[in-house]
A = this chain, B = another copy of it.
Amino acid sequence: MSTFQHLHLEIPKCDKPRVVIIGGGFAGIQVAKSLRHEPYQIVLLDRHNYHTFQPLLYQVATAGLEPDSIAGALRQLFENHKDFYFRMARVTGIDLEDKKIKTLVGELGYDMLIIANGSKTNYFGDKKMYDRTFPMKQVPQALDLRSHMLQNFEQTVMSREPEEKDRLTNFVIVGGGPTGVEVAGALGELKKHVLPKDYPDINFDIMKLHLVDGGPRLLAGMSEKSSAKAMQYLQEFGVDVRMNTRLADYDGRDVTLTDGTVIPTKTVIWAAGVTGNIIDGLPKETVERGRILVDEFNQLIGYDDVYAIGDIAMMKTDEMPNGFPMVAPVAMQQAENLGKNLKRKLRGKSYVGFRYKDKGSMATIGRNRAVVDLPKFHFGGFFAWLVWMFVHLMSIVGFRNRLVVLSNWIWGYMTYDRGTRLIIRTFLRNNKYKPGDTL
């Protein structure tokens, strides 16, 4: 920690109440924006200096987009906001009694605290999987996967042992939620349209995509019709989908599934689920299954000035006895509702309870194919794919990002090309060969 010894988390005091927001994800930026013109001092903390548009992260991992398309610098997002402070800092603890948070660069008091630090990859405590598989939650992780995947193909060309070639070209995706399904679709696209042009000496029949999920159907959060369609699309791509199946073991070389199958592979993508980023210092009774228990106002039970929103919040209602799904629309709507309530508070009005408006959900599986669930209507195919593109494009924060993504998509669609097939992060886990100048 010697780097940080000179640093201090000091924010100038002013006469407005200080709202500290932990996390610059969908929930955090939404609540900060909605309080923009209110008499609050806003302090936003994040360990990264950018917001990540996670729904498209898998396209960074599969060489479709560069990080600048899907990530936006947080400072830029809040340029010209008055009484707004961003600090790049990792929050390590919360002191609810003294009303302050702890970070690697010091402590900071708050008048109101909004915990919006989202979720992290859930390894269910399995250290082996944490060490040996690729998560898909952050930009650097997506870049690692991209470089690793492309290095595998470079090595396949130079391998003459069939089993080793299999190990390099087999991909096992753990988890059949939207991330798993979309990664599988994108890898299917690469296999079908992109990689064979790059590697004429590889017979791409050997590239096998496996998707395993412990549950009975894909996209468990969506309709049965969409699950079935997603299954059909993946199978058309030649993806070996195994439901009710989990990883029994993975030694970094061979995966053993619970059905006994052994798959030689260097690449296991871990999209099995997420769990809340619980911070030290919260009373035991406020945490349930990795999330923070809140009431219908997203207020921490028993604490007046502490709120949790988004993935980290566990709000139980009659319709949602296990809490709301950990997805972006819930996060944004909870943030909007909290913003509204904090405005009402200033005006002496009472809080309004959160009502989730489910606008539907969707997933895409390669070019021209997607599944869309609207509240009363489910559809798939080409039109669903257009809807998927439009909604994602419109949801990306920032006009520039939108332009970059759109132009990349048009280019990719027309040319069957992926612009970012660059191995820029030598993956050091199994690899002692490091590029760089020598003396």
Contacts and interface: CB of A to CB of B under 8 A. Distances in A.
Interface in A14-72: 47-50, 66-68, 71
Nearest to A137: B437
Contact of A158 (B7, B199, B425, B430): B7
A423 interface: yes
A359 interface: no
A130 B141 CA distance: 28
Interface stretch (A232-240, A316-324, A414-422): A414-422
B400 A140 contact: no
Nearest to A72: B422
A73 B138 contact: no
A198 B6 contact: no
Contact of A50 (B48, B423, B437): B423
Q: Which one of A66, A71, A158, A407 has the highest number of Cβ atoms from chain B below 10 Å of its Cβ?
A: A158
Copies of this chain present in the complex amount to 2
A356 B29 CA distance: 57
Interface in A175-228: 197-199, 201
A121 interface: yes
A229 B7 CA distance: 40
Interface stretch (A159-167, A296-304, A360-368): A159-167
A198 B85 CA distance: 11
Nearest to A430: B3
Interface string A270-312: 0000000000000000000000000000000000000000000
A127 to B, nearest CB: 6
A7 B68 CA distance: 35
B47 A435 contact: yes
A352 interface: no
A8 interface: yes
A17 B158 CA distance: 21
A73 B130 contact: no
B139 A424 contact: yes
Interface stretch (A94-102, A109-117, A149-157, A243-251): A149-157
A197 B73 CA distance: 12
Interface size class of A (residues with CB under 8 A): 35 or more
A137 B419 CA distance: 22
Contact of A164 (B6, B89, B201): B6
Given A66-B67, A66-B68, A49 B6 contact: no
Nearest to A194: B76
Contacts of A421: 49-50, 73, 75-76
A439 B1 contact: no
Contacts of A90: 433
17 contacts: A6-B160, A8-B160, A48-B435, A66-B68, A73-B421, A87-B154, A88-B154, A90-B433, A120-B438, A123-B439, A125-B439, A130-B437, A140-B426, A400-B415, A400-B417, A403-B411, A407-B407
6 A-B pairs closest in CB distance: A66-B66, A88-B154, A7-B158, A75-B198, A73-B421, A121-B437
Interface of A: 1-4, 6-10, 47-50, 66-68, 71, 73, 75-76, 79, 85, 87-90, 104-106, 120-121, 123, 125-127, 130, 135, 137-141, 143, 150-151, 154-155, 157-161, 164, 197-199, 201, 400, 403-404, 407, 411, 415, 417, 419-426, 430-433, 435-439
